Amino acid sequence: MESTKETTPGTPREHVRCLILGSGPAGYTAAVYASRAGLNPVLYAGIQPGGQLTATTEVENFPGYPQGVQGASLMEDLRKQAERFGADLRSGMATRADLSFPPYRISIDSGQEIEAETLIIATGATARYLGLADERKYAGLGVSACATCDGFFYRGRTVAVVGGGDTACEEALYLSSLARKVYLIVRKDYLRASRVMRERVMQTPNIRLLFEHNAVGLYGEKGVEGVHLLYRQGEADEQRVSLAIDGFFLAIGHTPNSDLFKAWLDTDARGYIQTLGGRPLTRLPGVFAAGDVADPHYRQAVTAAASGCMAAMEADRYLLTK
């Protein structure tokens, strides 16, 4: 059954069996599986076609690439694979959702309105940054928001992690097993992390805590070579210091791209869509969430791809029971 288009006053409307929002590993993998199941999926790529991996240089921990692969190349491979099986891949992003009853209605920024029998939300999450111009300048050249993804490249080198919560402590501990030295830059004069994480960080000899420091800039010729810091920013005795580092890791959290769906789906305190029983099911029948938008714990390309696979299989099963 192909998608069908229906014109209504003012707004073109299209009916599809499976609509996928997002084009990261979760979205493209869902498109592969949904296409092979004969669901004729339509995928809208969203604000960042290919997802966060397109801003990453080399990816070494995705299965099937023994020599590693550039993030943009990996996403291009996934896109071509989805196209090969017939997925209808489109540019554009969702601007409004009405999930009050099926078929679910999604408005696209082009003015198109989609009616979907099943909906796979794979809109991802956005890493939080400090807002420094240098973060963009050195993106992929020493600036990272994922120690698990990029820590390998800093074996035996010196890195800095920004943050004071559990995530920052976890990132610093992970990097401490690879890097020669890890600076943990903390804005406050204490760690917000849980007691066990605080103790682990403080007991790790190659982690140095820099309390009451704020990163205000980065420097380097071809990549990050150091960070400019302000000690006790805004106070009478504030001091500006520069610290030589090879890598700069942000660990101040992620924001799931779930705002459109919060009126209809359950989310946790941080906005991650809550799924049921370890599966990509939401509380609405025929609506599934996959990838980082529903994953506050792992946020890896391989786990996102796996959840995209599961979401498409669940969508197929749901349609078979209708």
Go through the domains of the chain in sequence order and give each one's CATH number. Answer: 4-127+254-321 (3.50.50.60), 133-250 (3.50.50.60)
- Better pLDDT: 99 or 145: 99
Active-site pick, 88, 134, 149, 169? 149
Over 60: is that where the pLDDT of 308 sits? Answer: yes
Query: pLDDT-based confidence at 194, cuts 50/70/90?
Result: confident
The answer to whether residue 149 is catalytic is yes
Percent above pLDDT 90 for the chain: 75
* Per-residue confidence (pLDDT) for residue 10, from 0 to 100: 58
d(CA 246, CA 142): 7
Q: What is the mean pLDDT of the chain?
A: 92
Residue 45 Ramachandran class (φ > 0 left, ψ -120 to 50 alpha, else beta): alpha
pLDDT digits (tens, 9 = 90+) for 74-89: 999 999 999 999 999 9
Query: 117-161 pLDDT, tens per residue?
Result: 999 999 999 888 899 999 989 988 999 988 888 899 999 999 999
User: One of 88, 134, 146, 309 is an active-site residue; which one?
Assistant: 146
Give the pLDDT confidence score for residue 163 in this predicted structure. 95
Tell me the two tokens of residue 238.
């504030």
Pairing outcome for strands 11-21 and 4-8: antiparallel
Tallying the residues shown for the chain, one arrives at: 322
Please tell me the predicted confidence (pLDDT) of residue 11.
61
- Exactly one of 150, 246, 295, 316 is catalytic; name it: 150
Q: Which helix (H) or strand (E) holds 312?
A: helix 301-321
Question: For this structure, is 169 an active site residue?
Answer: no
CA–CA distance, 310 with 316 (Å, rounded to integer): 10
Q: Are the C-beta atoms of 288 and 119 separated by less than 8 Å?
A: yes
Q: Tokens in use for 59? A: 């990816």
How far is the C-alpha of 30 from the C-alpha of 24, rounded, in Å?
10
* Residue 32's pLDDT band (cuts 50, 70, 90): very high
Answer yes or no: is pLDDT of 298 > 90: no
- Output phi, psi for 286, to 5 deg: 85, 0
d(CA 322, CA 320): 6
Read off the pLDDT of residues 212-239 as tens digits, 9 standing for 90 and up.
999 999 999 999 999 999 999 878 788 9
Model confidence at 276, pLDDT cuts 50, 70, 90, reads very high
What is the spatial distance between Cα 219 and Cα 97, in angstroms, rounded to a whole number? 43
Respond yes or no: is residue 18 known to be catalytic: no
Tokens of 133: 């111009």
* Range with the poorest average pLDDT among 96-105, 111-120, 121-130: 121-130
